[in-house]
């Protein structure tokens, strides 16, 4: 019962917490920091933003860690920070997007990755514990002269088999996400980034973990937002900070995902 309640709480938090997205305010403040992939992309950008003066844009040599270069989403018409991706289902650019999860009806990104991981762990633990509790009765079915005469035989059989399969499957997903968190990578980046030359790796795996779970160890496994955020200020754009639709941001740490929000 307790595990089931914990699982439901994490699923609800994952579903209702905004994973983090780019606001027009933040985008407008960083129009001069767009890095264009081609001349054609720059031409299209200027057609959409004819009033923008790119003469003040930072050159590549000037971007020495104090300033950030950003991409541009031609669907949202907004500047997007590094590691942000456009989700066609949510119809917005998600910060540090991992994937869109149909089971929770929400994107998994920076602000709710913690809850998704905890949801997977509690769901796996709940299913496996049910299967373990049913296993003795499952074995007794085969010691009976007539299996189908045993009360609840079908529910015992289904519960044990399905509980084991679902628990192991979700546990594997949770294990993979834990592995990604320790590398400070998302599922998308696992397929696009060379893990041996991981540009988002912090000084150690504990720092990587804190990027998702926060620095307060007492709240790591509680349905509470991480504590590593601060309220958005007008200086955020100059400090290399990103904001979400809630108007909050997090300080850049090394070259890890620098535009994280809560």
Catalytic residues: 101
The distance of Cα 114 from the centroid of its chain, to the nearest Å, equals 7
Rounded distance between C-alpha atoms, residue 126 and residue 123, angstroms:
5
Phi-psi region of 234 (alpha: psi -120 to 50; beta: other; left: phi over 0): alpha
Rounded distance between C-alpha atoms, residue 223 and residue 213, angstroms:
11
Tokens describing residue 11:
């699923």
Residue 135 burial by Cβ neighbours in a 10 Å radius (0-12, 13-18, 19+): middle
Q: What are the C-alpha distances in Å from 51 to residues 31, 35, 54, 55, 87?
A: 11, 18, 10, 12, 28
Residues listed for the chain: 262
CB count in 10 Å sphere of residue 229: 19
CB count in 10 Å sphere of residue 203: 10
Phi-psi region of 65 (alpha: psi -120 to 50; beta: other; left: phi over 0): left
Helix (H, G, I), strand (E, B) or coil at 256: coil
Helices 153-183, 205-213: crossing angle, 10 deg rounding: 120
The β-bridge relationship of strands 92-94 and 85-87 is antiparallel
């Amino acid at each position: 019962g307790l595990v089931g309640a914990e699982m439901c709480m994490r699923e609800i938090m994952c579903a209702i917490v905004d994973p983090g997205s780019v606001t027009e305010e933040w985008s407008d403040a960083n129009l001069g920091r767009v890095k264009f992939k081609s001349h054609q992309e720059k031409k299209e950008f200027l057609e959409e933003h004819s009033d923008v003066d790119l003469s003040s844009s930072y050159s590549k040599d000037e971007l020495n860690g104090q300033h950030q270069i950003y991409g541009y989403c031609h669907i949202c018409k907004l500047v997007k920070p590094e590691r942000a991706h456009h989700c066609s289902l949510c119809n917005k650019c998600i910060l540090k997007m991992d994937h869109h999860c149909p089971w929770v009806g929400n994107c998994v990104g920076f602000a709710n990755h913690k809850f998704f991981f905890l949801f997977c762990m509690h769901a796996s633990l709940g299913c496996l514990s049910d299967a373990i509790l049913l296993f003795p009765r499952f074995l007794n079915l085969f010691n009976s002269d007539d299996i189908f005469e045993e009360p609840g035989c079908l529910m015992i059989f289904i519960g044990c088999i399905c509980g084991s399969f679902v628990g192991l499957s979700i546990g594997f997903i949770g294990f993979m996400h834990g592995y990604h968190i320790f590398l400070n990578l998302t599922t998308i980046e696992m397929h696009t980034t060379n893990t041996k030359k991981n540009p988002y790796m912090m000084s150690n795996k504990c720092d990587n973990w804190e990027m998702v779970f926060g620095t307060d160890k007492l709240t790591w496994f509680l349905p509470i937002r991480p504590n590593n955020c601060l309220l958005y200020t007008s200086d955020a754009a100059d400090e290399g900070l990103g904001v979400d639709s809630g108007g909050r941001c997090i300080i850049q740490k090394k070259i890890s995902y620098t535009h994280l929000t809560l």
